[in-house]
Structure 1
Amino acid sequence: MRQITRALVWGRSFDRAQAFAERMSGSSPIQIEAVEQGEVAAAQADIICTVTAADTPILFGDWVRPGTHVNIVGSSYVGPCEIDTDLVVRSRYFADNRASVEAAGAEYIGARDSGLITNIHILGECGDVIIGRVDGRISTHDITVYKSLGHIIQDLAALKYLVDR
């Protein structure tokens, strides 16, 4: 597990990103700060989470350094793409559910339909990595991407956590 000590927040509206960072800083043990450019945040990140309603990529492969892990959770149907094709192609790519990503993972479908990858580019599902059936990272330089379209078990686990608190 990586020790997280700092979080950078970027949004299409810097004012809203800054307000979010300030609001979250009061309840978090880690340093949270807003940055004005996504490229600046990505260049410094070990872990990147995209949680947007963007129609076009907001994260580009040439911004992401080797060894970074990326969670793509904002787009959940064919059309909107949060990351560019280059990042899909360069990554070790994992899904919450393979069939769902093959059918509705816009970033993945774009790269596949362009002939840049095939269906074997999805190396496994998150559960495969957790139980050790598939290696998530085989080199410290690997860029890993996890595409989540939403899985009811994730929502239920989060709800249970909140109820137990």
Structure 2
Amino acid sequence: MTLLLTEEEVDGLLDMASTLPVVEDVFRAHGEGRATNHARRRVALPTGGLHVMFAGAPGMDAMGLKAYSVSSSGARFYTMLFHPESGELLAILRSDRLGQLRTGASTGVAAKYLARDGASTLGLYGAGWQAESQLEAVAAVKSLSRVIVYSRKEESRKEFARKLGQRIGLEVETTDQPEEPAAQDIVVTATSSKDPVLKGEWLSPGAHVTAAGSNSLLKSEVDREVIRRASFVCVDSKEELGLEAGDLLASLETGGLLPEAVFELGSVVCGHVEGRRSQEDITLFASQGLALQDMAAARLVYDRARERGVGREVDF
């Protein structure tokens, strides 16, 4: 029997506190070679597009895929979860909230392993849906003393500050000066901008940067100076280079960054690669997202749904 779960049901079963450890675990499994992940594949049509990503790992007892469509009416996200031994289709989930949480959790994992000791301030670019989970995740792994957010619209950043300040129990400052967030210990970009919102010249020594808003070769949230100044650059998966990592494309094409100098975050999590070597290093995580993260979160949702009797069963 296959379990069907709505967006509202998934939202009620998943939160950042539970998403962070399962995402960290799959980064570790990926770094140790105990998981299979394939980068997003796309179908583009004049009226819309279809995006599919798939993965599996014995350790999380799941394999599956996420597919989502994008059109003028918005995006629709679905995850299909299979049992790795029987091949049974365990569940079909609506997964917009799931994707938001696992994207934020990836940023949290990166901050945990790459931010310098004692990092306590966060600068955030973007005040939308995805920016919410970015802040939640960093606040969950670091003891933050200051958060400052910049976005193009004053109204949106002030509403974001009010809402997220209540959620994390810390005042969230706003600014109309784009260089201010870059002066913090941890800097996160979560925008829809096609052009850089973060300039490398603004960064302070020792900063950790996560660029989380671009998963296209046509978009870059950080300029080449960010990459030039970074002592360590990593991605979710090196398979993404040339497919999705728009933040790195210009530097890769001009030789400012060599493919051999780009690492995978999972290798840092499992201890195979040393990320930060000094308190003065600038580190960069260009986040594109792994299907493994979706599968880990989906498996957690499925197990909780079974325990709590949530969802509807369908016999295909």
The TM-score, its normalising length taken from structure 1, stands at: 0.89
Quick check: 1:150 aligned with 2:306?
A: no
Distance 1:154 1:27, change over 3 A: same
Structure 1 segment 3-152 matched on structure 2, within 5 A:
3-43=143-183, 45-91=184-230, 92-122=232-262, 124-152=263-291
Contact 1:101 1:147 in 2 (8 A): no
Contact 2:161 2:171 in 1 (8 A): no
Distance 1:12 1:99, change over 3 A: same
Query: How far 1:149 moved relative to its partner?
Result: 0.9
State the secondary structure of the residue aligned to 2:148: strand
Matched-pair identity in %: 29
Query: How far 1:31 moved relative to its partner?
Result: 2.4
Amino acid at match of 2:277: I
Aligned-residue Cα RMSD (Å) equals: 1.8
Contact 1:102 1:119 in 2 (8 A): no
Work out the CA distance in 2 between the residues paired with 1:15 and 1:156. 36
Work out the CA distance in 2 between the residues paired with 1:155 and 1:17. 28
Query: Which entry has the higher C-alpha Rg, 1 or 2?
Result: 2
Contact 2:212 2:288 in 1 (8 A): yes
State the secondary structure of the residue aligned to 2:187: strand
Work out the CA distance in 1 between the residues paired with 2:147 and 2:166. 13
- Write out per-residue CA displacement over residues 22-75 of structure 1, whole angstroms, 9 at most, x where no aligned residue: 1111121222121111201211x1111111111110000001111111111101
State the secondary structure of the residue aligned to 2:257: coil
Distance 1:153 1:80, change over 3 A: same
Which structure carries more strand by proportion?
Answer: 2
Q: Unaligned stretches of 5+ in structure 1?
A: none
Query: How far 1:101 moved relative to its partner?
Result: 3.0
Dislocated runs of 4+, deviation >4 Å: 156-159
Amino acid at match of 1:15: E
Between the two structures, name the one with larger relative contact order (CA 8 Å, sep ≥ 6).
Answer: 2
The TM-score, its normalising length taken from structure 2, stands at: 0.48
Query: How far 1:154 moved relative to its partner?
Result: 2.6
Contact 1:102 1:108 in 2 (8 A): no
Work out the CA distance in 2 between the residues paired with 1:23 and 1:71. 22
